[in-house]
Amino acid sequence: MTALVTPAPHGRSGRRVLRARVEARAAKWGRRAGTVAVTALLLVPFLPILLWAFADRWPYPELAPTVWGVGGWLTATAQGAWPALTRSLLLGLTVSAIATPLGAMAGRALARGRVPYGKMVTALLLAPVAVPPFAVTMGLTTVALRLGVPGVVALVAVLVVAAVPYTTYIMRAAYAGYDEGFEETARTLGAGSRHVLLRVHLPLVAPALAAAAFLAFLVGWSDYVVTLLIGAGRIVSLPLLLGASASASGNDPTIAVLALLATIPPVLLLTAVTVLSRRRTQR
Amino acid sequence: MNRRTASSRRAALLVLPALLPTVLVLGAGLGAAVIQSLGLLPLVGKPELSSAAYRALVVDDVLTGLGVSVAIAAASTSLALLVGATAAVLVQRSRIGGLAAVAAAVVPIPHLVGAATVGLLLADSGLVARLVGAQPGTFPALVGGPWWVAVVLELAWKESAFVAVVVLSSLATTERDLDEAAAGLGAGPWQRLRRVTLPLAAPALVVSGTISFAYVVGSYEVAWLLGRTYPEPLAVLAFRLFSDTDLTMRPQALAVAVLTVAVAAGALVAGAALLRRVAVLR
Amino acid sequence: MRRTTTRRTRARALGTLATAAAVALSACAAPVSNRTGTADDGYASWEDVAADARGQEVSLWMWGGDEKGNAYVDDVLAPAAADQGVTLRRVPVADTADALNRVVSELQAGQDSDGAVDLVWVNGENFRTGQQAGAWECGWTDLLPNSAYLDPTDPLLAEDFGTPVEGCESPWHKAQFALAYDAADVQHPPTSLTELFDWARAHPGRFTYPAPPDFTGSAFLRQSLYEVTGGPEQVPAGPDDDGAAGATSALWAELADLEPSLWRGGDTYPRDAAALDDLFAGDQVDFTMTYGPATLDARVADGTFPETTRVLTLDDGTLGNASFLAIPANAAHQAGAMVVADLALAPEQQLAKADPAVWGQYPVLELDRVPDDLAEQFADLAPSTVVPPFDELSRGADPELSADWVAPLERGWRDNVLTGQR
């Protein structure tokens, strides 16, 4: 862009440069307006939950809550929002802890292209993306019950499988750009395999690992349907609590608080992941 | 044993921990769904192989459901691609920060939360209706209306953020370099968008569009909260049949589930074919 | 999966897996066992029950959408259960059918004991379906000491939507179907459903009802069936009996004719009672309906509903029913569940939850049998401007239809009213 910003010469070519300059300026303002518009568009849906979460009383057609307060927070707490939040965190972390290493191993093998029937294996690993979780779960609940598989195990299994496509995809891309020469160099310098893994391999793929782990966490964190069908109410995750509140009346402040609670942790986690990987690349 | 088989064996071992649960869960889940839809695993009565569940399904319900599911998925995915791609390009070009962070922050929000908040925003007595001071009965039927506006908007909102993030990660620094080079050669903004940015973003657009289409076809909570009573998308239809107190409706629910899987899988196959063509063009 | 399969080639491994899955699945498809759901543990005395119950953790599965109900169970019932050595854990479900599905699936899987569900808040078609599948433990309710406060001749407690209770569930609440209206908008409130339908035709867009199979919408269908046929005694006992077709076709004709006058021209219906309440709160319609009218006070008090909300008094009365606590035949903690069911009947507990500020569920007890001081407190419960007292509300109450009717009515509405117009 800087190439265009030169003193305008006169004559025909000068007019062309001038036009290009005007175009560039218009494009620049267009981009600014566009950026602000799209950002606003993405942010607008947050507005109602922010307002309702602190509205004790907001009758129609008032524009703003008539009584502000934390009634929604108290009700949500009484409904067990905090234990549900903890449960959801645990579920997300468990799914992440299992699906990330699985995806990393598979991604590494696939990136090297030595997996027998590689294309079929890739297709199978990515297939869960195309299979609606509710369909698998409706079938699986019966089987899991008949085989005596505990609900929690079946739940984690389904969610891990739902997360594997994402972790595999990310890690395959990461390992495709991964230079094994570093490892060999370290080895020729006398580093043990443990040392190579901890000091060379893992630091190099850390940003991708973090991204994969985050997406896998999200699969567990935001699931509603699978927990509803297979957890059969035993696992009261945050989305389940939210779903139950949404099916009853007059709960708008509670719904907003639960929605807010379901939003904050992943956003915080995302910020942490971003900051960490940025710091790493800057180094 | 030569080196090559040894390394491919090692590769196979590395893949297995991910492959086994995937095959097991998908196989058992889908297998059981098919078996139950064929009446072989009934909750009440004797197991008996039959296509009764498929025949008992009200053809109109399934066909309209299929139409609604595909229409919602197509509309919300198109919108998501448009907004998501725009957002990604804007982030690449603009000096104003924040958009990338906002898009990234929308991705992790559960769709159920999105549905709840879009409901509070667009319902007949929602925030927007209050803002425009709509008289009762005059606000357009966005929630539960004939055009599924609230459902499509919620899905488009969430999925456009997803598209933006995927496209951004694929463009990254390569696009910026090429774009600057093209600009140096005197290419105008539109030309650069058409000749440089879009071709580079195409594979990511196809991949994210396919994933989001398949997701929407199989998603339940948004259409349930913001949709209408009739017709129902496939997932809502399957859920209603599945939770019917008449347990003999179960096979029908699973028949609809199997059909939904077929639609989503079809979308993935089409997406893969498209990706191959896009990659060749590139 | 055993480790050894990993040493084989991919194709073999996949083949083995497929076979294993097939075997596992066919082994699953065992024929249905004929369970009768009798009390095989056979408690002879309450002392045995109380002793066994000590230390048990009972999971009560109940619809989780009612904040007050949840709070009552957690804050009032659970501590009282803890005093008797029973830990009460509330499992919120989105639909009572989820709990039943769970029990039936477990029984199908041959899990005859140690089931996940110990106690279910249930009535109507869910009770009947469970009864047909042998899912409930029976013959235990007479053991409960607090059952002495019940009126043995009370028809609402002897039959649950036409299904004989037969000691397979213990009463918990009574409920009365009620319509509510905004007195600021409805100057001359209708006194029958026919008048209400006429009002709706005169005020297009200001009335609607939740789409069945929503519980409340389904109750509205049955109430309307009484209206078009002329009362409960005019409706045939079962949906396949003589005259049933005539009764339902009159109902569909009436509701289809009403449809264009409904909210949004009958183009769609509120998803559930909560969605109708939202419309009422947002002044989009002038009527709402509920099977738990005592909760209306709280909605008015917190400003969700207008202060001019009133319960509609219908000359011919409205549907009434009772809801119950049932113990699954394979419950892991049956003794604990019985202790909780007994506690739920205690006059103190029934009084506490009858208070609209706590929950607002009508008592199932016969007040003449309750100690005088407690009976007085029932009478003293906060008077309401919104809801008339229960004896007035339940005057001329209609018995519920047989549960056999529920599903056919819901399906018939779908075929004849919802989709029939398009």
Instruction: Write out the DSSP string of B166-199.
Output: HHHHHHHHHHHHHHHHHHHTT--HHHHIIIIIHH
Q: How much is the pLDDT for C102? A: 82
Q: What is the CATH number of the domain that holds B163?
A: 1.10.3720.10
pLDDT computed for residue B280 by the predictor: 63
Alpha-carbon distance C26 to B137, whole Å? 56
From CA A223, how far away is CA A233, in angstroms rounded?
13
Helices (H), C230-307: 244-258, 273-281, 296-301
Lowest-confidence region among A138-152, B41-55, C75-89: B41-55
pLDDT(C38) > 60: no
Q: Is C101 on the interface with B (CB under 8 A)?
A: yes
Task: Answer whether residue B117 is part of any domain.
Answer: yes
Residue range A79-282 forms a domain whose CATH class is mainly alpha
pLDDT band at residue A1, thresholds of 50, 70 and 90?
very low
Cα(B118)–Cα(B142) distance, rounded to whole angstroms? 10
Q: Chain C partners of B127 at a C-beta cutoff of 8 Å?
A: none
Confidence of residue A251 (pLDDT cuts 50, 70, 90): confident
B246 pLDDT higher than 70:
yes
**A254-258, B92-96, C285-289, C351-355 — which one is most confidently predicted on average?**
C285-289
Categorize the per-residue pLDDT at C20 as very low, low, confident or very high, splitting at 50, 70 and 90. very low
Contact B229 C271 (CB under 8 A): yes
Those residues with Cβ within 8 angstroms of residue A2's Cβ, 6 or more apart along the chain or in another chain? none
* C116–A143 C-beta distance less than 8 A: no
E-strand spans in C327-363?
none
Cβ–Cβ under 8 Å, residues C133 and C125: no
Q: Are B142 and B122 in contact (CB under 8 A)?
A: yes
C-alpha closest to that of B256 among B45, B73, B24, B61: B61
For strand C320-326 and strand C119-122, is the pairing parallel, antiparallel, or unpaired? antiparallel
State residue B162's pLDDT score: 92
- Report pLDDT digits (tens) over C356-369: 888 888 999 998 89
- Helix (H, G, I), strand (E, B), or coil: what is residue C187? coil
Cβ–Cβ under 8 Å, residues C318 and C154: no
Measured distance CA(C364)–CA(C108) in Å, rounded: 34
Average pLDDT over residues B21-28: 94
Average pLDDT for C133-137: 93
Mean pLDDT is highest, among B36-45, B87-96, B122-131, B241-250, for B122-131
Q: Which residue has the tokens 């991204």?
A: A211
Q: What was the pLDDT predicted at C113?
A: 87
Q: Residue B19 domain-assigned?
A: no
Run of H or E residues at C326: strand C320-326
CB contact C417 to B (< 8 Å):
no
CB atoms within 10 A of CB C254: 18
Find where tokens 């957002």 sit.
B87
pLDDT for the residue numbered C171: 97
Is the pLDDT assigned to residue C197 strictly greater than 80?
yes
Phi then psi dihedrals of residue C62, to 5 deg = -145, 155
pLDDT tens digit sequence for B146-179: 899 999 999 999 999 999 988 988 886 677 778 8
For chain B, the domain total comes to 1
Rg, chain C, Cα only: 24
pLDDT over 90 for what percent of chain B? 46
Model confidence at C86, pLDDT cuts 50, 70, 90, reads very high
Least confident of A66-80, A210-224, A238-252, C368-382: A238-252
Q: Give dist(CA C170, CA C120) in Å, integer.
A: 10
Q: Matching CATH topology for C46-172+323-382 and C178-318+398-418? A: yes
Residue C168 has pLDDT above 70, yes or no: yes
Closest CA to A91 of A212, A225, A274, A238: A238
Strands C178-182 and C287-290: antiparallel
Asked if the Cβ–Cβ distance from B108 to A34 is below 8 Å, we say no
C147 close contact with B: CB closer than 8 A: no
List the domain range (segments joined by +) for residue B212. 54-281
Minimal Cα–Cα distance from B153 to chain A, Å?
10
Positive or negative: CA dihedral C200, C201, C202, C208? positive
* Pairing between β-strand C87-93 and β-strand C57-63 as defined by DSSP bridges: parallel
Assigned CATH topology for domain C178-318+398-418? D-Maltodextrin-Binding Protein; domain 2 (3.40.190)
Residue whose C-alpha is closest to residue A166's, from B22, B157, B85, B86? B22
DSSP-derived 3-state class of residue A68: strand
Q: Domain extents for chain C?
A: 46-172+323-382, 178-318+398-418
Which amino acid belongs to residue C142?
A: D
The yes-or-no verdict on residue C32 having pLDDT over 50 is no
pLDDT-derived band at A223, boundaries 50, 70, 90: very high
Q: Give yes or no for a cis peptide into B231 (omega within 30° of 0).
A: yes
Q: How many CB pairs under 8 A join B and C?
A: 110
Give the pLDDT score at A281: 60
User: DSSP code of C60?
Assistant: E
Q: Quick check: A128 and A160 in contact, CB under 8 A?
A: no
Does residue C135 surpass a pLDDT of 60?
Answer: yes
Q: Is the pLDDT of residue A276 over 60?
A: yes
Indicate yes or no: CB of C6 within 8 angstroms of CB of B13. yes
Cis upstream peptide for B21 (omega within 30°): no
> Is residue B2 domain-resident?
no
Contact list in B for residue C129 (CB cut-off 8 A) is 245-247
Lowest mean pLDDT among B95-99, C230-234, C316-320: B95-99
Higher pLDDT, B165 or C108: B165
Average pLDDT over all residues of chain B: 87
What's the CATH superfamily of C46-172+323-382? Periplasmic binding protein-like II (3.40.190.10)
Q: How far is CA C312 from CA C182, C190, C209, C309, C386, in A?
A: 10, 8, 15, 9, 10
Q: Which of B5, B10, B96, B112 to probe the A interface (max A CBs under 10 A)?
A: B112
Q: Tell me the β-bridge partners of C331.
A: C115
Closest residue of chain C to A75, computed from CA coordinates? C67
Residue C94 CB contacts under 8 Å (≥ 6 apart), including other chains: A228, A240, A243, A244, A247, C63, C64, C65
- For residue B26, being part of any structural domain is answered with no
* Least reliable range by pLDDT among A183-187, C12-16, C145-149: C12-16
Q: Measure in Å the smallest separation between the Cα of B8 and chain A Cα atoms.
A: 5
Radius of gyration of chain A (CA): 26
Q: Which of B176-180, B271-275, C131-135 has the lowest mean pLDDT?
A: B176-180
Q: How confident is the model at residue A263 (pLDDT cuts 50, 70, 90)?
A: very high
Task: Average the pLDDT over each of B248-262, B267-281, C113-127 and give the range with the smallest value.
Answer: B267-281
CA angle C146, C151, C153 (to 5 degrees): 140
Predicted local confidence at residue A24, as pLDDT: 77
A98 to chain B: nearest residue by CA? B18
What pLDDT is recorded for position B222? Answer: 94
Span A225-254, average pLDDT: 80
Q: Specify the pLDDT at position B67.
A: 95
CA distance C144 to C124: 22
Residue C11 pLDDT: 34
CB contact under 8 A, C304 and A249: yes
Q: Tell me the C-alpha distance between B117 and A261, whole Å.
A: 13
Q: Searching chain C, which residue's CA lies closest to the CA of residue A146?
A: C109
Q: Which amino acid is at B190?
A: W
Instruction: Express each pLDDT in A104-118 by its tens digit.
Output: 999 999 988 888 888
Cβ-based neighbour number of residue B43 at 10 Å: 19
Give the pLDDT mean for C322-329. Answer: 96
Q: Using 50, 70 and 90 to split pLDDT, how confident is the model at B75?
A: very high
> What tens digit of pLDDT does each residue of A22-51 get?
877 887 888 888 888 899 889 999 999 999
- Among partner residues B35, B108, B161, which is closest to A42 by beta-carbon distance? B161
Using an 8 Å CB-CB cutoff, list chain C residues near B46.
31-32
C-beta atoms of A233 and C99 within 8 A? yes
Contact B80, B212 (CB under 8 A): yes
Q: Which residue has the higher pLDDT, A258 or A183?
A: A258
Residue B45 falls within a domain, yes or no?
no
**To which H or E segment does residue C59 belong?**
strand C57-63
Domain ranges of chain A: 1-44, 79-282
- Compute the residue count for chain A: 283
Count of CB atoms situated within 10 Å of the CB of A207: 18
Residue C399: CA count within 13 A, CB half-sphere: 18
pLDDT of residue A109: 92
Structure tokens at C83: 């005093």
| pLDDT of residue C41 exceeding 60 | no
What pLDDT is stored for residue A23 in this prediction? 77
Q: Looking at residue B210, what is its pLDDT?
A: 94
Chain A positions touching C74 (Cβ under 8 A) are: 78, 80
**Distance spanning both ends of chain A, measured CA to CA:** 28
Mean pLDDT of chain C: 86
Between CA B253 and CA A229 the distance in angstroms is 13
Determine the pLDDT at residue A12. Answer: 65
Query: Which comes out higher in pLDDT, residue B42 or C381?
Result: C381
Residues of B in contact with A136 (CB under 8 A): 25-26, 29-30, 33
User: Smallest CA–CA separation between A190 and chain C, in Å?
Assistant: 32
End-to-end CA distance of chain C: 53
Residue found under tokens 């699945």: C25
Give the pLDDT mean for B112-131: 92
Neighbouring C-beta atoms of residue A275, cutoff 10 Å: 10
Band (pLDDT 50/70/90 cuts) for residue C6 is: very low
- Confidence label for A92 from pLDDT (cuts 50, 70 and 90): very high
Report the range of poorest mean pLDDT among B115-129, C39-53, C184-198, C403-417.
C39-53
Give the pLDDT of residue B281: 55
pLDDT at residue A269 is higher than 80: yes
Does residue B102 sit at the A interface (CB-CB below 8 Å)? Answer: yes
pLDDT band at C4 (very low <50, low <70, confident <90, very high): very low
Structure tokens at C294: 């005592």
**HEC states along C81-130?**
HHHCCCEEEEEEECCHHHHHHHHHHHHHCCCCCCECCCEEEECHHHHHHH
**Beta-carbon-side half-sphere exposure of residue C48 (alpha carbons within 13 Å):** 8
pLDDT at A57 over 50: yes
Instruction: Evaluate if residue C21 carries a pLDDT over 60.
Output: no
> Given an 8 Å threshold on Cβ–Cβ distance, is A139 in contact with B33?
yes
Q: Which of A113-122, B136-145, C338-347, C376-385 has maximum average pLDDT? A: C338-347
Q: Classify residue B250: in a domain, yes or no.
A: yes
H helix runs in C167-243, sequence order? 193-202, 215-229
For residues A114 and B111, which has the higher predicted lDDT (pLDDT)?
B111
Mean pLDDT of C299-318: 90
Q: Which two tokens stand for residue B282?
A: 């590139």
The whole-number pLDDT of residue A78 equals 84
Angle between helix C347-354 and helix C372-380 axes, rounded to 10 deg: 10
Residue C18 pLDDT greater than 60, yes or no: no
Interface mutation target, options B9, B57, B245, chain C, most CBs of C under 10 Å: B245
Query: Do the beta carbons of residue A216 and residue A103 sit within 8 Å?
Result: yes
A200 vs C3, residue with greater confidence:
A200
- Predicted confidence (pLDDT) at residue C56 exceeds the cutoff of 90: yes
